[in-house]
Amino acid sequence: MLEKHVVKISQELKLQTKQIAATAILLEEGATVPFIARYRKERTGELDEVQIAAVRDRLEQLEELDKRRESIMKSLEERKLMTETLAAKIEAAETMTTLEDIYLPFRPKKKTKATVARDLGLEPLADLLWAQDPTTDPQAAAVPFVGPEIEIDAKKYSVPDVAAALAGARDILAERINDDAAIRAKLRALYLEKGVIKSKVLTGKEEEGAKFKDYFD
């Protein structure tokens, strides 16, 4: 049990730190939620089962977050990818989603369309498209990247025409956007705010679907 976790959970659940600490100790000792609620009221300050379960669940989440954080930092250090800025971001991550978003660009990847496109030398073309310079003609910019077949990991690839060059550049940009933690966070927030889930009854399932009609407008 870390003191920072006690303070954080206290702030989140609007409980006293001594209540969180006492509950954490009892849980570490193997006491169950019902037992603590019934027989250890004097130690927890009268916390009920719901509050104790919330403390337990949050402690487990934070412990898992710390384990994953440690694993990620170890991986980055072993691969000589760690920087002070990156370490600060990892240390500041408060959720597993944020942590994984930060790590995503550095996660060892299997070969993707984007990695093949990079091996084919299309990253400079992707950079040109990324700049969105209105004076740049994408078709003309792609011409110099059309080239002969080359071998990558015992397989042969090529950029046979302008369309293939632009497609490869788009693959690189798609992966670049996907790996950007800030963009992922913005899109996630946008979906939460604006996303709409719709459903409809399948043809032939009207009778089965009728019992759910009260759940929908």
- Residue with more model confidence, 76 or 217: 76
Let me know whether 71 and 156 are in one domain.
Answer: no
Q: Which residues pair with 152 in a beta bridge?
A: 155
Let me know whether 38 and 96 are in one domain.
Answer: yes
Q: Long-range contacts of range 140-146, CB-CB < 8 Å, 24 or more positions apart? A: 142/166, 142/169, 145/120, 145/121, 145/169
pLDDT of residue 176: 93
Domain membership flag for residue 134: yes
pLDDT of residue 212: 74
Let me know whether 101 and 131 are in one domain.
Answer: no
Let me know whether 138 and 158 are in one domain.
Answer: yes
Q: Are 148 and 165 in contact (CB under 8 A)?
A: no
Let me know whether 62 and 101 are in one domain.
Answer: yes
50 is in which domain, residue-wise? 3-106
Q: Long-range contacts of range 179-187, CB-CB < 8 Å, 24 or more positions apart? A: 179/104, 179/105, 180/105, 181/98, 181/101, 181/102, 181/104, 181/105, 184/101, 184/104, 185/98, 185/101
Let me know whether 30 and 88 are in one domain.
Answer: yes
pLDDT of residue 57: 96
pTM, 2 dp: 0.68
pLDDT of residue 152: 78
Report CA 50 to chain centroid distance, whole Å: 29
Domain boundary among 106, 140, 155: 106
pLDDT band at 1 (very low <50, low <70, confident <90, very high): low
pLDDT band at 29 (very low <50, low <70, confident <90, very high): very high
pLDDT of residue 61: 95
Domain membership flag for residue 204: no
Number of domains in the chain: 2
- Residue with more model confidence, 148 or 61: 61
Let me know whether 117 and 96 are in one domain.
Answer: no
Q: Which residues pair with 151 in a beta bridge?
A: 156
Q: Give pLDDT tens digits for 94-126.
A: 999 999 999 999 998 788 899 999 999 999 999
Domain membership flag for residue 190: no
Q: Give pLDDT tens digits for 14-27.
A: 999 999 999 999 99
